[in-house]
Structure 1
Amino acid sequence: MPAIPHEIFKAYDIRGVVGKTITAENVEKIGHAIGSEARARNLTAIAIGRDGRLSGTELSQALARGIRKSGIDVVDIGMVATPMLYFAAHELCQYSGVMVTGSHNPPEYNGFKIVLGGQTLAAETIQALRLRIENNDLTQGAGHYSEHNIAATYLQRITGDIKLARPIKIVVDCGNGVAGAYAPALYRGLGCQVSELFCDVDGSFPNHHPDPSVPDNLNDVIQALQTTDAEIGLAFDGDGDRLGIVTKDGHIVNADRQLMLFAADVLSRNPGGKIIFDVKCTRNLAPWIRQHGGTPVMWKTGHSFIKSKLIEEKALLAGEMSGHLFFKERWYGFDDGLYAGARLLELLSREQDITATLKNLPDSLNTPELQVRTAEGENHTLIAQLQKNAVFDNPQQVITTDGLRVEYSDGFGLARASNTTPVVVLRFEADNQAALQRIQEDFRRNILQAKADAQLPF
């Protein structure tokens, strides 16, 4: 049997280029491995869904064939947002499901997010699927195939629980991703007046890329807010599990500041609760959580790591800088951009001045995510070297949960190895420009000592 490409088995999912590393033949093998793993866990059925990418139909059919070969039943819920697949998995298949999605990658990519019995597969459990294929450790059987429409149940579950104090006028930009098929209907169901931008699903993404963590992708929302009477803008990534927020006056509310708003709300009903966030988040977040009676927990970046930590810590809420938000209070604990948008609107509907409420969240001087390109695997070596040898100038704390996060009295610097691409990710935050430059200089010195030819983006 020809070898399956190693490089598609990533830290949080399986992902590659369609027609090259992701072919129908490979996907059938991956399905067979997933089904075999499900059998080993005494599961009987797996829900599958796909986003709006052009390759989705062919690949989900191949996936279904592979899963059924293992003797596991397949419940196909069709073209849905990733959180709708998680919801269907939870409701129909002992919390087991596979989403065919390329997330925020370019159109020629596709991949798989996998949850089995409530566990999101990541790191070694993803590699274990590859080993099953290579060792032919596959069960045989003939699972059944059925189709199920989950949309009405999912939308009803949200609109039945979330109530707005007043209707809000909103702009929704789905960037031609799959959220466009559901987000406008959801928010109208909550009583909002919705102006739609790029909500027709088109896997070639003809307008802008569906990734709200890149500020340029929010220009259309900013423009629409300026020219209409809408009060707030929401934007979604390609598979609907991440949320971008833009205020009336064009300010982008990053996910760590969104988390402040949600944490204060959740903690008002659950004093002492734990709130989890990743190492990229602002240093204003932990004190804010404490101030509102909660316990802050910093953890590794990556939706599957954060989700596992949420379960382990029995936390109420979690979030990461990339825009993944996980509500356990009143919801299921999976990352859901559509639901996060609904919770946001519920909160803001009680406020007369939405823009002021959002602008009043503590802010700081910070950089976007910066990247240092390296050879494959070199990013992990470089970070390990820095963890061992770097000497920083008067740090208050050096956190090595995920790379190096160095806390100073007036800011922080972060360097960590990306788990998805061969880069070192950097982020800086400070009280003022002078502090920001000093912290960057401290990192520059240490990085260049470890890798003299590093091309630094600051």
Structure 2
Amino acid sequence: MSLINPYIFREYDIRGKVAEDFPDHVVIKLGKAFGTIVKRAGGQEIALSGDIRLTTPDLVNWFKEGVLSTGTDVINLGIIPTPVNYYSMFHLGVSGAVQITGSHNPPEFNGFKFSLDKKAFFGDDIQSLYQLIDKMDFEQGKGMEARFKILPKYKEMILEKINIERPMKVVMDCGNAAGGINGPDVFKALGIDLKELFSEPDGTFPNHHPDPTVEENLLDLIAEMKTGQYDVGLAFDGDADRVGVVDETGDIIWADQLIALFLPEVIENGEDILFDVKCSQALEDMINR
């Protein structure tokens, strides 16, 4: 039996306080467990990347050590936003992908987001990692590491798929987090007139915490929008897989309001729509109309 905190194994990811939950031997075992799952599913290599938190480089190295020890190969993508990690599965054709990130959680936290066979890895899948570690049931081998610069390919894909039809002035608050790595570059390449806030990556998050679901973290963006010079303001979380939106008057457009704005574009012939309990009753009423 392996001593490991079972509560770090959440429904959709593995998450915990680094100092307490992720010593090197635990992270190495996490890598061994995921590498084993990939091998037993017939896979051979995974993409591995992380966010800009100060603890991420060590976690990447320890996790990689575990994966390689199972005979599974690792393509190291470096420090990138989580959506780019997901994209790598389709561009590189790897068997799985792991992003090491604390997402929107406080700086002392970090975690692991997994994908397997181009699908989400969650629920019982996450628990299977714990079970392998508990039984010390790992494949053995000697995998190989390669490095790949994925950001240029991701930018190329975005530019192929998106066309901005009118001039736009946008404020982007990256919160000194992973969104600053490629967000401003992509937006400018799309022809957007961009005002950057806190786009320099800094794992101490010196200006505000990168969680756009908390109004306090949007105050700088709101103040900039209230100058009346811009069409929209965007704020990203720690790994740039969630966004906060502020309109041209400085008002926050919350997630369920955004969904309501998108509904006319996606609803046809009465398809089912899935949303979570944090959305308002107004959204449900609009869907049912």
Check the 8 A contact 1:168/1:193 in 2, yes or no.
yes
Q: Distance in 2 between matches of 1:42 and 1:119?
A: 15
Q: Distance in 2 between matches of 1:73 and 1:130?
A: 21
* Aligned equivalent of 1:40: 40
* Aligned equivalent of 1:240: 240
* Aligned equivalent of 2:208: 208
C-alpha RMSD of the superposition = 1.5
Check the 8 A contact 1:47/1:93 in 2, yes or no.
no
| TM-score, normalised via structure 1 length | 0.61
- Which residues of structure 2 form unaligned runs of 5+? none
Shift in Å at residue 2 of structure 1?
4.8
Q: Deviations over 1:260-286 (max 9, x none)?
A: 22221233xx54444321122122223
* Aligned equivalent of 2:279: 281
Equivalent position amino acid for 1:282 in 2: S
Check the 8 A contact 1:47/1:85 in 2, yes or no.
yes
For these two proteins, the number of residue pairs brought into alignment is 289
* Aligned equivalent of 2:159: 159
Pairing of 1:154-233 with structure 2 (within 5 A): 154-227=154-227, 229-233=229-233
Check the 8 A contact 1:264/1:289 in 2, yes or no.
no
* Aligned equivalent of 1:6: 6
Report 1 or 2 for greater relative contact order, CA contacts < 8 Å, sequence distance ≥ 6: 2
Shift in Å at residue 160 of structure 1?
1.1
Q: Indicate how the Cα distance of structure 1 residues 279 and 2 shifts in structure 2: closer, same or farther if over 3 A, else same.
A: closer
| TM-score, normalised via structure 2 length | 0.95
Equivalent position amino acid for 2:30 in 1: I
Q: Distance in 2 between matches of 1:226 and 1:45?
A: 48
Equivalent position amino acid for 1:139 in 2: E
Check the 8 A contact 1:172/1:194 in 2, yes or no.
yes
Q: Deviations over 1:279-319 (max 9, x none)?
A: 2212222343354xxxxxxxxxxxxxxxxxxxxxxxxxxxx
Q: Distance in 2 between matches of 1:162 and 1:288?
A: 28
* Aligned equivalent of 1:121: 121
Check the 8 A contact 2:172/2:196 in 1, yes or no.
yes
Q: Distance in 1 between matches of 2:43 and 2:122?
A: 19
Larger Rg: 1
Of 253-262 and 239-248, more deviation after overlay is shown by 253-262
Q: Distance in 2 between matches of 1:144 and 1:263?
A: 46
Equivalent position amino acid for 1:190 in 2: L
Equivalent position amino acid for 2:191 in 1: G
Check the 8 A contact 2:81/2:178 in 1, yes or no.
yes
Check the 8 A contact 2:44/2:95 in 1, yes or no.
no
Shift in Å at residue 97 of structure 1?
0.3
* Aligned equivalent of 1:353: none
Quick one: percent identity of the two aligned structures? 39
Q: Distance in 2 between matches of 1:186 and 1:23?
A: 36
Check the 8 A contact 1:46/1:93 in 2, yes or no.
no
Shift in Å at residue 53 of structure 1?
0.4
Partner of 2:35, secondary structure, is helix
Q: Deviations over 1:141-163 (max 9, x none)?
A: 11111001111111111111111
Q: Distance in 2 between matches of 1:284 and 1:145?
A: 50
Partner of 2:19, secondary structure, is coil
Check the 8 A contact 2:170/2:233 in 1, yes or no.
yes
Check the 8 A contact 2:228/2:248 in 1, yes or no.
no
Shift in Å at residue 95 of structure 1?
5.4
Shift in Å at residue 19 of structure 1?
2.5
- Which residues of structure 1 form unaligned runs of 5+? 292-458
Partner of 2:279, secondary structure, is coil
Partner of 2:20, secondary structure, is coil
* Aligned equivalent of 2:90: 90
Partner of 1:16, secondary structure, is strand
Shift in Å at residue 94 of structure 1?
4.0
